[in-house]
Amino acid sequence: MHTRDRDRFVLAAVVFAVLFSQLLLYPGIATLVEALGADATASPFAETPLDASMWFLVAEFAAYVAFVGVWGAASDVTGRRTPFIVAGAVAGAVGYAALAAVPAIGSIPFEGVLLLRVFQGAMTIGAFSLTMTMLMDLGGGHGRNMGAAGIAIGLGAATGAPIGGQLTEFHPLAPLVAATVLLLCVGVLVTLVEDRSPEHRRSARALLEGVRRQPTLSIPYAFGFVDRMTAGFFALVGTLYFQETFGLGAGTTGLLLACFFAPFALLQYPMGALSDRIGRTIPIVVGSICYGVGILAVGSAPTVALAAAAMVAIGVLGALVSPTTMALVTDIADESERGIAMAGFNLAGSLGFLGGFLIGGTVAGSHGYDLAFLVVGGLEIAIAVVTVPAFLRLSIGTSSEGRRRDARS
């Protein structure tokens, strides 16, 4: 195996482990927050199981938003990736372990649990974002590299959800313990890969100015925001919707979520490679419109079987959009600004997750699940329609552009 191919595999494994550990918590989120002390009489953040679950997820992604740029800028300024990934992974493992210890301590209010969650999220995002940046640093085709990242993300989510559901049924804290072990493994695994970050260093101001001179980055950032918003929506609202509408338990809910994440994962690499050949525009724009329609179909499905079929369909469409959008970031960004450019993408994605939790949770709680699905699916369709003129006017995402960028790599 070529060294570059081996490193791509190892980095993808690291991305997988981080996402897998994150998704372990989702199917049993209501049970987990109860075990961690969520009590309506003691905290305004835990008035209902939906509220407690929402704020527990929001705390992590708020930390992602606050710290992802810090990790990216620090990596670009120093010209190193590996030490920061190791530090983030180990500290993230400490955060998960501290959360798992909360019931044994017994005197921490739910607000304290949320602060621990913020710390864990602030550390974990460093390992995640910079590992994706190391994939950006590899040659061999941006679509392939981001396809490897995408398949790792999808597989982590596809397997993390059902396994997390089974672990929750074994013990509510078991997903936290498993996540602790996985992040410690990440800290070791990433040291096996060559650090290919650009050797020349730049000041933080120069990095920000360089990114500011690339306004077209706003296009993949916008798609990253909306795509991750749908993921956040399904992680929280979709989970509760399936359980309340169809009477499913945590284990079965995890399997239903896997109907999306399995094709989403398995098709990422070939879809990313396809975008290297045909360009980014068609997969992103057409795929996003169809993806939004698929979300509406999930919300209107009258049976579990039809809901599962719709989840499979949007999993295929998500696999078309996700790696292509990430590859577009790599196409546009200068090689010396990849850390902060990918940080910007993950910042947009984290804001999207937050939007999925907050918008989806708020709309579902106030107006019901039907309107919540309509809002989220409609936004996915709207972003694709609105950006069509920009793709056409600026020739964003053409196959020739991608080949020129790959040649420089």
Instruction: Print pLDDT tens along the chain (409 aa).
Output: 567 778 888 999 999 999 899 989 988 888 898 888 877 777 887 778 778 888 888 899 889 888 988 888 888 888 888 999 999 999 999 999 999 999 988 778 889 999 999 999 999 999 998 998 888 888 766 777 888 887 888 788 778 878 998 899 899 999 999 999 999 999 999 999 888 776 655 555 555 565 566 677 788 888 888 888 887 788 778 888 888 888 888 778 878 887 887 787 788 888 888 888 888 888 888 889 999 999 999 999 999 999 999 999 998 998 888 888 888 887 877 776 777 777 788 788 778 877 887 888 888 888 888 999 999 899 889 988 888 887 777 665 555 444 444 434 4
What residues does each domain of the chain span? 3-408
Q: In the structure encoding, which two tokens stand for residue 51, read together?
A: 């509220």
CA dist 214 and 337 (Å) reads 11
CA dist 333 and 393 (Å) reads 19
CA dist 16 and 69 (Å) reads 21
Which pLDDT does position 394 carry in this prediction? 60
Which pLDDT does position 213 carry in this prediction? 66
Q: What is the pTM of this model?
A: 0.73
**Three-state secondary structure call for residue 140:** coil
> Do 402 and 142 form a contact (C-beta atoms < 8 A)?
yes
User: Regarding the domain delimited by 3-408, which CATH topology (the fold level of the hierarchy) does it fall under?
Assistant: Growth Hormone; Chain: A; (1.20.1250)
CA dist 309 and 63 (Å) reads 34
Q: In the structure encoding, which two tokens stand for residue 49, read together?
A: 């199981």
Which pLDDT does position 401 carry in this prediction? 45
Q: Kindly give the residue spans of alpha helices, DSSP state H, lying in 171-280.
A: 174-189, 204-212, 218-233, 239-246, 250-266, 268-278
Which pLDDT does position 313 carry in this prediction? 93
Which pLDDT does position 210 carry in this prediction? 55
Tokens 């929402």 belong to residue: 54
Which pLDDT does position 140 carry in this prediction? 67
The per-residue b/e assignment along 44-65, b for 16 or more CB within 10 angstroms, e otherwise, is: ebbeebbbbbbbbbbbbbbbbb
> CB-based contacts of 401: which residues, under 8 Å, 6+ apart?
279, 331, 395
Which pLDDT does position 239 carry in this prediction? 82
CA dist 148 and 30 (Å) reads 32
CA dist 110 and 43 (Å) reads 6
Number of H helices, E strands in the chain: 17, 0
> Do 227 and 322 form a contact (C-beta atoms < 8 A)?
yes
Q: Is 333 left (phi over 0), alpha (psi -120 to 50) or beta?
A: beta
Which pLDDT does position 209 carry in this prediction? 61
CA dist 396 and 283 (Å) reads 12
Which pLDDT does position 1 carry in this prediction? 54
Which pLDDT does position 403 carry in this prediction? 42
Which pLDDT does position 200 carry in this prediction? 59
